[in-house]
């Protein structure tokens, strides 16, 4: 299943890639494959902006505006003027 096309904020600069393969290891959507000792993006629209790749890329080749793709969290964020985040762990029951 894929979500909306052409919305992801994922940016990949292959010239910075050192070929460690961490992104392939951490991406839960199979966005990356290794090809010729470098990571390659298969289909950007698969990206769910979780941020695992950017967090674990030691070479600064990846960036993404990571956040929760959760309507309730985003509405709460809009109302309170804060960054969207799940209610998890707070007093209110959250989305996950």
Partner 1 sequence: MQTLQTLKFVKKELPPFALGTISTLAGTIYKVSSDWSRADFWGMVKSRSGAFRMNYTVAPGLYAVGDPTALCDVFATANYKLSFDILRRELKGMNAWVLVLDTKSINVWCAAGKGTFGTEELIKRVSATGLDKVVSHRRLILPQLGAVGVSASAVLKATGFRVSFGPVQARDIPAYVAAGYKKTSEMAVIKFPMKDRMILTPMEINPAMKKFPWFVGAVLLLFGLQPSGILFRDALYGGLPFLLLGFLAIFSGAFLTPVLLPFVPFRSFALKGLIMGILSMLAAMPLLGPVVRTEILLFAAAWLFFPAMTSYIALQFTGSTTFTGMTGVKKELKIGLPLYITAAALSLVLLVVHKIREWGLV
User: Which residues of this protein are in contact with partner 1, per CB under 8 A?
Assistant: 1-5, 7-9, 22, 24-30, 46-52, 55-56, 58, 65-75, 78, 84-86, 88-89, 93-96
CB-count exposure of residue 54 (10 Å: 0-12, 13-18, 19+): buried
Question: Least distance from C-beta 91 to partner 1, angstroms?
Answer: 9
Question: Least distance from C-beta 38 to partner 1, angstroms?
Answer: 17
Q: Return the number of the residue (9 or 13) whose C-beta is nearest partner 1.
A: 9
Which of these, 23, 58, 28, lies nearest to 39 by C-alpha position? 23
Which of these, 48, 74, 82, 59, lies nearest to 12 by C-alpha position? 59
Question: Least distance from C-beta 93 to partner 1, angstroms?
Answer: 6
């Amino acid at each position: 299943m894929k979500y909306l096309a052409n919305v992801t904020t994922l940016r990949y600069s292959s010239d910075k890639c050192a070929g460690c393969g961490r992104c392939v290891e951490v991406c839960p959507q199979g966005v990356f494959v290794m090809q010729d000792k470098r990571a390659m993006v298969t289909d950007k629209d698969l990206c769910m902006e979780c941020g695992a790749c950017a967090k674990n890329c030691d070479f600064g080749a990846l960036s993404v505006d990571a956040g929760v793709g959760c309507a309730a969290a985003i509405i709460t964020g809009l109302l309170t003027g804060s960054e969207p985040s799940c209610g998890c762990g707070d007093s209110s029951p959250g989305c996950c």
